[in-house]
Structure 1
Amino acid sequence: MATMSMKPGLRCRVPDWENSNKLISDTAEHRRHVSHEIRQEGRALRNETANKTSWDEYDSSRRLNDRISDVTRWKKSLEACVQDVNAEIDALTLAKEETERALAATVLPLEVTAECQTLREGRRGSELVSDPVEAELKKEVDVIDGAQRVLQQLIDQSFEQLCLLQEAHHQLTLDLQHKTEALDVDMSCLSLTVTSPEISLKPNPIRVPPGSTTPQQWEQFSHHNVIRAKEEMQTSLQLRENISITRAQVQNELEAQRIATEFALRKRTHHMEQALQEVQWQLKTTQDEITEMERDIRGLERDMQAKMAPLKLVHTRLENRTKRPGVDLCRDEVQFGLVEEAKQLDSTIQTLKQKLAQALDSLQSLQHHEAQMLEDLSRKQEALALEQRTAQTRTRLSLTGQSATMSMAADPLTSTGGRLKLQQA
């Protein structure tokens, strides 16, 4: 059997061997020490991170709770403000509708006044007077025109204020909707736990979404919406009070003018009735005088006719006595008497003729004035009838005035308690 030849290996010395063993032991001990420190640090880190994670989760939940409380508080404030705005919109809408009805109610008085003016234009002759009734009717037209302008202005202001209230209401409801949605989101986040099945990792969860605001901006936004709504409600409340006061003033002015016009109309009617009675009395006495004058004229004519026979007699006697012959053609007492009688009869007849002419002139003058009085009486009767028709036409305003007064009494002014409530909200 052949003998195997082996190459002797590289040998180390004993110190090297001991050093190698010591190095191994030292390295093992060092590694164990490092491992022990790492394990201790890992356990401490686990405890610390577990506590930190629990605390952060608790703190986030607390912050969510606080945020939910803030949002809930603002949500309740917005809801209360929305209710107040709705109530104010309803109240202002009602005031606007009542003002529109008040404006529509002025159409009838204006028509009645115009009709009264047209009726009174039917007066004729001297009865077509610029009297106090005409002045009051013109003033009534001016008062109604002024009332219509004021009421229309209030209606326009109410419409504009309603638009502002609607805009504020829109902002409030939009903010309230956002608060409700944000509250739902935060409530959902608060309900999540580490065991919830819907949790998952999201890409870039710590990004800042576009349009993000600061808490100060968030609170200022809702505060601005509430303050603006309260300011609009305060303005609306003042407008409603102004509407109530103005409507009452307008109604009082219209009623006062209606009363003044009807008083002037009654006074004028009374004066016309007196004038008509005076004309009727004067006409009757004039007609009586005409009758007496006609009777006297007939008497004068009869007397004149009666004087013709004596005149013929004296003329005949005088003429016959001129036929006396010779010395007997004497201007005796008979002659003087007959001449005097003839002159007296001529004078009497002439006087009667003059008196008859005067009587005829007076009769003609009386008859002419009678015709004038008849015409004037006719005009006065027509004018009085027109005044009575005017008064009858205006009776429609009395019923309207009573209805408007009842409406104003049923619409009290808004109390200052509402204003105080708005200021305290």
Structure 2
Amino acid sequence: MSSGVLVSRPHYDSRAVAQGVPEKGPPVEVPQPSAGSATAGYRSAKYTPAEWFSNYRTILQQAGTDRQEAHSIQRESKSLYRSAEAATLQTQADGTRLLGERLQEIHCWKSELQRHIEQLLADTRALLALKTRLEKALDATETPYAIATDNLNCRARRLGPDLVRDSVEVELLKEVDLIRSIQALLKRTTAQVVAQIKMNRATKQTLEMDWSDKHQAYSFDDHSGRYSNVSADTQHHPSSASMQDQVCNPSAWTKFTQDNLTKAFQEEQATTSLRALVEQLLQDTTEDLRVQCSSVDRAFSRRCEDLIEAKTQLEMKHTQILEQIGGQERNIVALQQAIHNKEAPQRVAQSRLYLRSLRPNMELCRDEPQLSLEGEARQIDATLASLQQQLSEARGSLSHLEESRITAEKDINCKTHSLFIDRDKCMAHRKRYPTVSTLMGY
């Protein structure tokens, strides 16, 4: 074996490589003198004492360095996990506290939403009751309308001169127009109430959805707040810690609920105003109908009084006419008898004059008997003419009296018929007029 130059082997620290400590530079090679051929084959793999001491001191030095480094790491680790534990506990406590505050905030908003939901529900029920009252009031107006139109149709069947446009007809026409306008107003108001009911229900549904979301969120946050480090149902959800893009910020969250509550408050105010309007409307329409009904009734009463007075006067006049007819008929009989009584004296006088006109010759003279007979004949003729003239006038008067009697009887019949229509039919029918409570929808 040939001899070679003795050199020291490089030092390699495997722990430093494992710990990631940069490797130290290789030791300086110290040339060693050759031992000669005598030592050939014995020195190629051996260290020198200097190398042994150097390696020994290096190991001690490295061990001391590693010990100090380990001690430092231990101190830093204790400080780190203590501070981390404290920070984690503090962060968890803050999270629990914030969850509690959030629960209180959600509970407040839930309570406010619940209050408005109940208010909207009560308002909707009240509006439904008002809608029912409006429908009943509208149905109740059909009775006055039927009464008024029936009165007008009945009065259209009045006879002769009684078919007049009097105050009763004027008031009845006013009543018909009033009822029509009230019916149109009630229909429009009912439509407004129905629209408000729809708005209240839509707003209530929005509040209920918001309340439901907050109820679910409250349940989740309450469950989250009950989690602790010893809870058995906790799991790892790494992706849940990342910020989601679609979530809203607290101000938008608050504004959303505030807008819903503002809308609910507006609908509540509108409901209150509409309810007051409907109540006043029902009261006003009822008063208007009752006032007009009273006006029509008063007009009917005055008209019936006028008819009764006219009928009474006509009946009195009819009685007088009948008495006059009876007297005139007796007068005519007396005149006829008087005329008949003049026939015998006329025949006697005419017969005397005729016989005396047959006297012969000079005996046919105008002597006193002749003159007396001629005067008697003329007197009888004049009396008969007067009686005939009087009889003719009496008969004419009797004819006029008969016409007056017939006219009076016809007018009495008209007044009786009109009085029957106004008093016995119309006024009796108007007793079925709805009461105040019925007209107000109760």
Counterpart of 2:42, as a letter, is P
Q: Which residue of 1 aligns with 2:435?
A: 401
Q: Which of 77, 98, 102 is the aligned partner of 1:63?
A: 98
Q: Distance in 2 between matches of 1:403 and 1:87?
A: 24
Q: Distance in 2 between matches of 1:221 and 1:24?
A: 72
1:77 equivalent to 2:112? Answer yes
Q: Which residue of 1 aligns with 2:226?
A: 191
Counterpart of 2:392, as a letter, is A
SS at match of 2:126: helix
Q: Which residue of 2 aligns with 1:290?
A: 325
Q: Distance in 1 between matches of 2:437 and 2:250?
A: 57
TM norm structure 1: 0.90
Shift of 1:8: 2.5
Q: Which residue of 1 aligns with 2:262?
A: 227
Unaligned runs of 5+ in 2: 1-38
Shift of 1:152: 1.2
Change in CA separation of 1:337 and 1:119 when aligned onto 2, cut-off 3 Å:
same
Which moves more between the two structures, 31-40 or 380-389? 31-40
Provide the aligned length of Structure 1 versus Structure 2: 403
Structural mapping, 1:152-163, within 5 Å: 152-163=187-198
1:123 equivalent to 2:158? Answer yes
Contact 2:162 2:415 in 1 (8 A): yes
Shift of 1:39: 1.5
Q: Which residue of 2 aligns with 1:372?
A: 407
1:347-394 Cα distance to aligned partner (Å, 9 max, x none): 111111111111111111211222222222222211111111111000
Change in CA separation of 1:130 and 1:252 when aligned onto 2, cut-off 3 Å:
same
Shift of 1:126: 1.3
Contact 1:78 1:226 in 2 (8 A): yes
Q: Distance in 2 between matches of 1:146 and 1:63?
A: 63
Q: Which residue of 1 aligns with 2:88?
A: 53
Q: Distance in 1 between matches of 2:190 and 2:73?
A: 84
Q: Which residue of 1 aligns with 2:4?
A: none
SS at match of 2:93: helix
Change in CA separation of 1:363 and 1:50 when aligned onto 2, cut-off 3 Å:
same
Counterpart of 1:283, as a letter, is H
Q: Which of 218, 227, 251 is the aligned partner of 2:286?
A: 251
Which moves more between the two structures, 208-217 or 109-118? 208-217
Q: Which of 291, 298, 301 is the aligned partner of 1:263?
A: 298
1:239-283 Cα distance to aligned partner (Å, 9 max, x none): 000001111100010000000001001111111111111111111
Q: Distance in 2 between matches of 1:144 and 1:323?
A: 99
Q: Which residue of 2 aligns with 1:90?
A: 125
Q: Which residue of 1 aligns with 2:21?
A: none
Shift of 1:209: 4.9
Shift of 1:161: 0.4
1:107 equivalent to 2:107? Answer no
Q: Which has the larger radius of gyration?
A: 2
Contact 1:287 1:370 in 2 (8 A): yes
Counterpart of 1:380, as a letter, is K
Q: Which residue of 2 aligns with 1:35?
A: 70
Contact 1:251 1:404 in 2 (8 A): no
Give the root-mean-square deviation of aligned CA atoms: 2.0
Q: Which residue of 2 aligns with 1:9?
A: 43
SS at match of 2:172: helix
Q: Which residue of 2 aligns with 1:413?
A: none
Q: Distance in 2 between matches of 1:177 and 1:280?
A: 86
Q: Which residue of 2 aligns with 1:390?
A: 426
Contact 1:95 1:240 in 2 (8 A): yes
Unaligned runs of 5+ in 1: 411-425
SS at match of 1:193: coil
1:304 equivalent to 2:339? Answer yes
TM norm structure 2: 0.87
Q: Distance in 2 between matches of 1:13 and 1:147?
A: 129
Shift of 1:329: 2.5
Shift of 1:403: 3.8
SS at match of 1:331: coil
Shift of 1:18: 4.5
Q: Distance in 1 between matches of 2:301 and 2:265?
A: 53
1:82-121 Cα distance to aligned partner (Å, 9 max, x none): 1211211122221221122111111111111111112111
Q: Which residue of 2 aligns with 1:416?
A: none
Percent identity over paired residues: 26
Structural mapping, 1:126-137, within 5 Å: 126-137=161-172
Counterpart of 2:102, as a letter, is R
Shift of 1:208: 4.1
1:397-416 Cα distance to aligned partner (Å, 9 max, x none): 1xx225447x68x9xxxxxx
Counterpart of 1:113, as a letter, is A
Q: Distance in 2 between matches of 1:213 and 1:30?
A: 55
Counterpart of 2:426, as a letter, is T
Shift of 1:15: 5.2
Q: Which of 201, 215, 226 is the aligned partner of 1:180?
A: 215
Counterpart of 1:393, as a letter, is H
Shift of 1:137: 0.8
Q: Which of 275, 278, 282 is the aligned partner of 2:310?
A: 275
